[in-house]
């Protein structure tokens, strides 16, 4: 252990050895916080004798959790690392142990977006809704907003209402919003399914209502460590407060300058005000950067110093000097893409691997010309946020076969009962749905009940039942990778792909089997089928890295936590980065933090590019204020910028900044509220558009509804 401590700098060593009480670590980008976290875990176990199962270490992605688990395993030589997890993953552990407190089975189902879409499909069919009423994407967003903000007590309906009562509430709903919401709750209830929000909400509910369970977990978790604390949201914060209340040992690591998820509920004040919330807080500053050259850090420090909501600090370089950040002004987007591709070709010819190059951007829509230029130059690339590995059809199918072995849930049944073809088409599925509704059972149970009915003559329904029964009864104690291989073989699924000649899809299945094998190795005896299915349901796109020697294209959000030798940050234009959607000073500070995150992904060289010309609306394109924010001596321009352009850009930015609101505006009214407008008169709020920050109001004296901004002066009517 002493050897490990010697490899740490003084701040890292202080973080490791400060074990008791409330500890806040402000860890700058590239400062080795993961090394400090893993070393602290090892110190608690090896030096202090704390049992690994009594330490909770929270990260914000499954990829980070897996990497940390592997590092800690190597340091402590113990397989008991069960509570190195995401918040959602930890809540799965709680619910798998204590779901009886809310009358849910231990075999509850964790669902992802594709499962939610399958539920929505059923709801739309049953109630005659179309995508004109609401797209699936909008419906998912609406459900999340309702659960988190507008109807935070929704879970009581799921817990206290029987499926029949909840079904009636769904059928009685009139508006598309209520139909979708209560239909979704009903679908969740009948499948014993929980989405990511539910995992946190149900866990907190159990802790509030059951003192015995709460005290059990509080006593068990003697030390709590939370990574990326700047990204924590309100419900995660409340969960943390409950868990640390007994022992009082809480260690949080974060960087206020990397708070980029406020749109997802993150609140930078939790980190900034940590010493105000808790007594006797010890704050440790980790500022030494081991990732980037002094030139890259100087530019990034210069940019972020413009923010007010932060802890004043500067990253301290430890690496040798490199080139200044290069800045290129292109005449238009096509020329910008051409310059980037030419530069990549130069790096490649100089021996740089394409995998060491990343192109970052604020939003996906800017990539079209980049992709065209890369294709023309025959430079292979991959879009990091393209088709998610775990959302690919064959991967979802394979996982649904595993879910059928474990749960026999309706979502999985609908997906794979007729894949490969078993002659179980729409007519027979409708028959099963009617039977399931009549008997209050699952679709699979309905099939078992009615398999001898003449309607199933000429089908392979009986063979499907035999397959599921064989593997559901024989799954216990069997390796998951072995179980999956057998299921895919005996079901005929792999044979179907071979017949189709779908080698890429077979390759994806091979990759899935390999990932399961790695999971089994890392988790040891904890690698049960149920644990794995809960684990994989929490995966996101950022948990699967692209393979091969290819240039990586991704949004800045997707790049959080990653690093690359060479980074191109493109489309640095006003209205693109920062986004034209920003309307408040806090929002602009978040955009600047996002630019800071982008710049600090670079290790050896950073390239900033922007395109001139005109935007789609005909307005001139100006350079981003974030380029102008940087001390200009810290940048090296490929050509001297046009003085007139820079002057115009600064004037434009100045006028735009004056229009920013001091704080985020929250709606003062709810749907259904009666309001009075100084011109339009009295009216009723019909809906709220959070994105545009406006009400849709139906006025008594106006023929058509009007969108009225939150900032408008509306008076309430009694």
The two structure tokens encoding residue 476: 């216990």
For the question of residue 227 being annotated catalytic, the response is yes
Of 98, 228, 394, 397, which is the active-site residue?
Answer: 228
> Left, alpha or beta for 14 (phi > 0: left; psi -120 to 50: alpha)?
alpha
Cα(291)–Cα(255) distance, rounded to whole angstroms? 16
Beta bridge partners, 606, equal: 567
| Phi then psi dihedrals of residue 654, to 5 deg | -60, -45
For the question of residue 460 being annotated catalytic, the response is no
Cα(702)–Cα(595) distance, rounded to whole angstroms? 45
Burial of 39 (0-12, 13-18, 19+ CB in 10 A): buried
For the question of residue 230 being annotated catalytic, the response is no
Of 12, 13, 24, 33, which is the active-site residue?
Answer: 33
368 within 8 A of 571, measured Cβ to Cβ: no
Of 195, 198, 227, 231, which is the active-site residue?
Answer: 227
Residue found by looking up tokens 């005996």 in the block: 490
Chain CA centroid to CA 650, Å: 35
Number of neighbouring beta carbons within 10 Å of residue 34: 17
Beta bridge partners, 688, equal: 695
Widest CA span in the chain: 83
Burial of 213 (0-12, 13-18, 19+ CB in 10 A): middle
Closest by CA position to 377, among listed 338, 434, 320, 418? 338
Of 59, 187, 258, 609, which is the active-site residue?
Answer: 258
Q: Which residues of 493-508 are buried (b: 16+ CB within 10 A; e: fewer)?
A: bbebbeeeebeebbeb
Which pairs with CB-CB distance under 8 Å and at least 24 residues apart come from 171-179? Answer: 176/129, 176/133, 176/134, 177/134, 177/142, 179/123, 179/127, 179/129
Of 601, 604, 621, 693, which is the active-site residue?
Answer: 601
Cα(605)–Cα(529) distance, rounded to whole angstroms? 45
320 within 8 A of 293, measured Cβ to Cβ: yes
For the question of residue 34 being annotated catalytic, the response is yes
3-state secondary structure of 309: coil
- In sequence order, which residues have a C-beta less than 8 Å from that of residue 72 and are 6 or more positions away? 38, 41, 42, 52, 57, 81, 84
34 within 8 A of 238, measured Cβ to Cβ: no
283 within 8 A of 24, measured Cβ to Cβ: yes
Closest by CA position to 81, among listed 127, 114, 119, 50? 50
- In sequence order, which residues have a C-beta less than 8 Å from that of residue 204 and are 6 or more positions away? 235, 238, 239, 242
Annotated catalytic sites, by residue? 33-34, 227-228, 258, 601
């Amino acid at each position: 252990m002493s050897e490990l401590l010697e490899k740490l700098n003084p701040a890292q060593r202080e973080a490791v050895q400060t074990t008791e009480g409330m500890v806040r670590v402000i860890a700058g980008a590239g400062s080795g916080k993961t090394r400090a976290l893993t070393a602290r875990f090892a110190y608690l176990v090896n030096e202090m004798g704390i049992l690994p199962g009594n330490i909770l270490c929270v990260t914000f992605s499954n990829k980070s959790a897996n990497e940390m688990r592997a590092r800690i395993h190597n340091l402590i030589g113990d397989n008991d690392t069960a509570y190195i997890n995401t918040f959602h993953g930890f809540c799965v552990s709680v619910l798998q142990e204590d779901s009886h407190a809310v009358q849910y089975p231990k075999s509850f189902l964790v669902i992802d977006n594709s499962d939610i879409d399958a539920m929505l499909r059923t709801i739309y069919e049953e109630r005659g809704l179309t995508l004109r009423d609401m797209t699936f994407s909008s419906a998912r967003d609406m459900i999340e907003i309702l659960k988190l903000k507008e109807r935070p007590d929704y879970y009581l309906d799921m817990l206290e209402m029987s499926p029949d009562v909840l079904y009636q509430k769904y059928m009685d709903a009139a508006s598309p919003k209520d139909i979708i919401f209560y239909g979704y709750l009903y679908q969740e209830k009948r499948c014993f399914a929980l989405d990511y929000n539910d995992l946190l909400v149900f866990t907190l509910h159990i802790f509030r209502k059951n003192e015995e369970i709460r005290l059990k977990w509080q006593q068990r978790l003697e030390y709590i460590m939370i990574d990326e604390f700047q990204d924590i949201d309100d419900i995660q914060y409340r969960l943390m407060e409950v868990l640390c209340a007994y022992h009082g040992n809480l260690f949080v690591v974060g960087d206020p300058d990397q708070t980029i998820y406020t749109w997802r509920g993150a609140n930078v004040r939790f980190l900034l005000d940590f010493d105000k919330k808790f007594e006797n807080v010890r704050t440790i500053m980790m500022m030494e950067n081991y990732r980037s050259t002094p030139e890259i850090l100087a530019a990034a420090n210069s940019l972020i110093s413009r923010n007010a909501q932060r802890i004043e600090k500067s990253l301290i370089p430890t690496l040798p000097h490199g080139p200044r950040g290069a800045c290129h002004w292109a005449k238009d987007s096509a020329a910008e893409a051409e310059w980037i591709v030419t530069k990549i070709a130069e790096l490649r010819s100089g021996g740089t691997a394409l995998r060491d190059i990343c192109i970052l951007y604020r939003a996906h829509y800017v990539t079209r010309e980049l992709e065209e230029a890369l294709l023309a130059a025959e430079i292979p690339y991959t879009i990091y946020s393209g088709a998610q590995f775990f959302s690919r059809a064959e991967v979802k199918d394979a996982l649904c076969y595993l879910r059928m072995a474990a749960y026999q849930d309706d979502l999985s049944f609908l997906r794979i009962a007729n894949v490969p073809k078993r002659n179980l088409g729409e007519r027979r599925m409708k028959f099963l749905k009617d039977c399931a509704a009549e008997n209050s059972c699952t679709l699979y149970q309905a099939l078992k009940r009615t398999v001898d009915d003449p309607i199933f003559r000429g089908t392979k329904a009986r063979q499907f039942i035999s397959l599921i029964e064989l593997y559901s009864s024989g799954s216990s104690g069997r390796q998951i990778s072995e179980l999956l291989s057998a299921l895919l073989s005996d079901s005929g699924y792999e044979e179907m792909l071979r017949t189709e000649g779908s080698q890429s899809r077979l390759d994806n299945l091979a990759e899935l089997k390999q990932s399961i094998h790695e999971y089994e190795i890392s988790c040891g005896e904890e690698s049960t089928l149920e644990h794995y299915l809960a684990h994989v349901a929490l995966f996101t796109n950022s948990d699967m890295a692209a393979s091969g020697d290819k240039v990586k294209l991704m949004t800045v959000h997707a790049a959080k936590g990653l690093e690359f030798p060479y980074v191109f940050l493109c489309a640095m234009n006003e209205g693109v980065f920062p986004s034209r959607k920003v309307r408040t000073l806090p929002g602009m500070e978040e955009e600047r933090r996002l630019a800071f995150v982008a710049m600090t992904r670079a290790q050896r060289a950073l390239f900033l590019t922007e395109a001139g010309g005109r935007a789609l609306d005909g307005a001139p394109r100006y350079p981003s204020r974030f380029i102008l924010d940087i001390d200009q001596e810290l940048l090296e321009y490929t050509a001297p910028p046009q003085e007139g352009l820079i002057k115009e850009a600064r004037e434009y930015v100045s006028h735009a900044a004056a229009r920013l609101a001091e704080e985020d505006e929250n709606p003062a009214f709810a749907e259904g509220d009666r309001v009075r407008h100084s011109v339009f008169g009295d009216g009723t709020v019909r809906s709220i558009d959070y994105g545009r920050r406006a009400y849709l109001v139906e006025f008594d004296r106006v023929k058509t509804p009007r969108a009225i901004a939150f900032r408008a002066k509306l008076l309430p009517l009694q």
